Amino acid sequence: MPTTNTPLARLRHKSQWLNYFNTMCNSKVLHIAARECKINLKILFRWRHRFLNILAETMVVLLEGIIKIDETLFRYSEKGSKNPSRRARKRGTKASAAGRSKKDSVPILTARDRGKR
Task: Give 2-21 pLDDT, tens digit per residue.
Answer: 667 676 677 777 777 888 88
For 64, the 3-state DSSP assignment is: coil
Is residue 107 included in any domain, yes or no? yes
| DSSP state letter for 86 | S
User: Residue 112: pLDDT band by 50, 70, 90 thresholds?
Assistant: confident
d(CA 20, CA 37): 6
**Domain co-membership, 65 together with 117:** yes
Do both 68 and 115 map to the same domain?
Answer: yes
Specify whether 69 is located in the same domain as 50.
no
The boundaries of the domain holding residue 43 are 14-58
User: Confidence band (pLDDT; 50, 70, 90) for 99?
Assistant: low
DSSP structural state of residue 113: E
Strand runs (DSSP E) across 1-115, as ranges? 67-75, 105-113
111 domain-assigned: yes
Q: Among positive and negative, which fits the CA dihedral 19, 25, 31, 35? A: negative
Domain check: are 68 and 38 in the same one? no
Looking at the fold, whether 44 and 70 belong to one and the same domain comes out as no
What's the Cα-to-Cα distance from 116 to each of 58, 63, 97, 112, rounded to whole Å? 18, 9, 34, 6
pLDDT, average across residues 23-35: 87
* pLDDT at residue 92 in the model: 73
Give the orientation angle of helix 30-37 with respect to helix 41-58, to 10 degrees.
110
| CA 58, 59, 64, 70 torsion-angle sign | negative
Averaged pLDDT of the chain: 78
Average pLDDT over residues 23-38: 87
Q: Quote the number of domains for the chain.
A: 2
For residues 31 and 76, state if they share a domain.
Answer: no
Give the model's confidence band at 96: pLDDT under 50 very low, under 70 low, under 90 confident, else very high.
low
97: pLDDT confidence band, cut at 50, 70 and 90? low
Residue 6 lies in a domain: no
Number of Cβ within 10 Å of residue 37's Cβ equals 22
